Amino acid sequence: MATVSISDLRKAFGKTKAVDGISVDIANGEFFVILGPSGAGKTTTLKSVAGLIDVDGGAVTIGGTDVTRVEPYHRNVAMAFESYALYPQKTVSENLASPLKSGRTGKYNESQRTERIDQVTTTLGINHLLKRFPRELSNGQRQRVALGRVLVRPADIYLLDEPLSHLDAKLRAAMRAELKQLGAMSNTTTLYVTHDYQEALALGDRIAVMRKGRLVQIGTPQQIWRRPADTFVARALGQPEINLLDGVVDDGRIRLGDGSFDVPVPRDARCDRGDRVRVGLRPCDIHVVDANADRSAIHGRVVLAERLGRNVELTVDVAGAELIVLASGREGVGEGAQVGLTVADSDIHVFAAGDGDTPRLGPVERESALEATQ
């Protein structure tokens, strides 16, 4: 258990800046998720904390000690690699015993080792695989062994690099739930890297959204979801992606599309009359109502209805603009139907106008100060 503090971390590979000035403080016992697309620098950040990368600048502090120039085997961190990195010539039990045998994670005799391995393999449900070699395991089993090699030893920090990414969807959901329940995980400071927003929202005490080597926003899942700092964060979270519509502010309303429909300006948005803005509406925040019953609703025609399990994804044509709406399916609207759409004022996100990633117009809970989680 330890705090982790990263300040102004920099690392370039050739001309590519993999990590470009990252600063973050992680509290003791916190489950901290770094979320970002591939190539954002997530793994580089993680390996910098592990000491596997010679950083170009900045500092990494673990438990109050500057470890920037400390060898990885002196840092007392455990890491699960995205590639699993199991030793191919060793069996599962030998793989799990490896960190216990190095002598740098504490001294264990044979029976203590067996006990620890037994404990962790029971938790992960892999104790029938102890005699097998990694090549004889499925991806899901390898994943568990890699996790087991992390959990089997006491460490100041757990570093998990996309530990669920190569599992199929069902197993991933199951493992996600398991991860959260692991006792060791809740007691040990954990840095978790993922590109899956659901994992981030489900697991993280706090989430840092990363793009091109920089942190775009740090906050609790709630803050990241409710108040995305810019359109990049807004788009990174949620499936289907958030709807972004160009609009003009006019008299407390924002006119959208060809100007024939509008939404109110949310209370905390900072924009003035005549401003050009982008409005973000999450598909799940848009509600389908009877087109005739609610005069204030936005009116449109359903172009496409796709059933996705428990939800129906509707593509609605509203005065030439296309809105994606996630409906429960109970409304019973089919393609070609006229529908009314409503959105709560607090679910309307206003961003600056322009192409690419534009910032939120309004308060963003950006935080970098140390925050206790429990």
* Residues making contact with another protein (CB under 8 A): 47, 50-52, 71-73, 77-79, 81-89, 98-99, 102-105, 133-137, 139, 142, 149, 166
Q: Which DSSP state fits 76? A: -
**Closest to another protein by CB, 134 or 204:** 134
Closest approach of another protein to the CB of residue 34, in Å:
18
Q: How far is CA 109 from CA 74, 93, 131, 239, 317, in A?
A: 21, 15, 20, 50, 69
- Please answer whether residues 63 and 76 qualify as being in contact, where contact means their C-beta atoms are separated by less than 8 angstroms: no
**Closest to another protein by CB, 52 or 289:** 52
Q: How many CB atoms lie within 10 A of CB 188?
A: 22
Closest approach of another protein to the CB of residue 118, in Å:
19
- For the chain, give the number of residues: 374
Q: Which residue has the tokens 């950006």?
A: 366
**Closest to another protein by CB, 101 or 270:** 101
107: Cα within 13 Å, side-chain hemisphere: 0
The beta strand positions in 50-112, using DSSP E, are 57-62, 65-66, 77-80
**Closest to another protein by CB, 92 or 312:** 92
For residue 233, give the H/E element and its range.
Answer: helix 231-236
**Closest to another protein by CB, 28 or 105:** 105
**Closest to another protein by CB, 154 or 362:** 154
Closest approach of another protein to the CB of residue 43, in Å:
10
86: its two tokens: 């199991």
Closest approach of another protein to the CB of residue 50, in Å:
6
- Please answer whether residues 238 and 324 qualify as being in contact, where contact means their C-beta atoms are separated by less than 8 angstroms: no
C-alpha of 245 from chain center? 25
Closest approach of another protein to the CB of residue 94, in Å:
11
In angstroms, the CA 323 to CA 312 distance is 13
Closest approach of another protein to the CB of residue 92, in Å:
11
Q: How far is CA 217 from CA 35, 227, 268, 299, in A?
A: 10, 10, 19, 34
**Closest to another protein by CB, 65 or 89:** 89
Question: What region does 105 belong to: left with phi over 0, alpha with psi -120 to 50, or beta?
Answer: alpha
Closest approach of another protein to the CB of residue 179, in Å:
19
For residue 100, give the H/E element and its range.
Answer: helix 92-101
Closest approach of another protein to the CB of residue 360, in Å:
38
**Closest to another protein by CB, 71 or 168:** 71
